[in-house]
Structure 1
Amino acid sequence: MSDRESGGSSRAKGAARARASFGAFVRKPAASAAAASIAPGAESEAALTHVESAETWPDDAVEVGAIVDAYGLKGWVKVAAHADAGHGGDALLSAKRWWLMKGRERKSAAVLQSKPHSDSIVAHLGDSADRDAALALRGCRVHVRRSDFPSLGADEYYWVDLLGLDVVNEAGVALGQVVDMIDNGAHSVLRIEYPATAKDGRAVKGERLIPFVGVYVKTVDRAARQIVVDWEADY
């Protein structure tokens, strides 16, 4: 994930809205880890690999992993996901088309089959018929349309949906904007930047780190692009 969706395997529970669950990616039911595949008879058109350009690249494409190797002899690839297969890696498993970028080259490919394998995800992409074809895809960064992400339950969020949101405290004081998310192993942490002034008068960026747990995070309003927290400006 690059850090667009990186980390993201923790799941923390807080007090907001009765045992709210916060995290970059949330473990889905076991069924989501099963191999996904294109319906029989749909391969002829869907299997095609399409050359893409900046103009045809989806506006909601999110980087979720990278192809690191071939898998087996029949054209399968191995993907290092930016989140575990049981967490945000589900986006790779649910999408029927991946958008691939390598240098300036852009293309998209139908996902004929995909499944978790150890700590990675393996997949058979359209028009990848043998190991040589799979090896040629090494180094491609894999993107998935945000609209293809699995749906989440109440009070569950993908990190990518939190980036750019304004953060205010319960008194309405602006604390800054979410620029990154951090996984400290126990829970997710909001990294917030805000305008500040250095001792010499220069405009600089200040930073706040707020644990993304219910005791501090009170509401997340994606429509209003705002997060309300129990946090003082001088903390």
Structure 2
Amino acid sequence: MKNTMRQRYVAEFIGTFGIVFAPVALSATGTLPSSDSGLMASAWVSGLSVLAMIYALGHISAAHFNPAVTLGFAIACRFPWRYVLPYLAAEFLGGITAAAVVALLLGGGYGAHIPASGLVAAAVGTEAVLTFFLMLVIISVATDKRVAGAVPGLAIGLTVVFDVLIGGPVSGGSMNPARSLGPALFAGGAAIANYWIYVVGPILGALVAARLYEAIRGSEKHAQGAPNDLYQALHDIEVKG
């Protein structure tokens, strides 16, 4: 295999660290002079950090950086189930470490996701729909050979931007259980009590999107894994018996 599994796990840790650190640190700097931690800034910081991490590490681990995405790839048979738990562990650890670093530098309790008052059901639905869009874009650009190699980072990053702009007022716009867990641990209270929303909603949306794209892909000849070299290596082993 081109990359060992250890290298992939490290890449998932670093990538998830990056996409969690950026918006949480932005939130933490909101009280400083000349800061801008409003919804527009949060949306763009979230999207740009995802874009950057995909281009930096996507060729190593396929840039899942999100437990819901890893489960979506697995349910679509584009990622082996035997590696799901290590990927999830790397992603959650990356997110928790990012929140811890922000807490060490700027104080804890920042960047936590809490649904708008009285909108718990709406928050679950919003997270599911937004993650559906995100997973649909991800599985399309990451596992379809017809998509140009330069497209994924930009397409996924921009999807995160519009998702956060829509979901921010309702649920915070997480779409990622690892994004929400670290800040919730340091914020405690309502953030921890409502964390289940950011597990149930994103996973539901990702699984539906993954299965739907497989249904409309058109032909297996267009498909590849995420990461493709791992998928192909395991496929070759199975073929050889």
Q: Same fold (TM over 0.5)?
A: no
* Structure with the larger strand share: 1
Which protein has the bigger helix share? Answer: 2
TM score, norm. by length of structure 2:
0.26
Structure possessing the higher radius of gyration over alpha carbons: 1
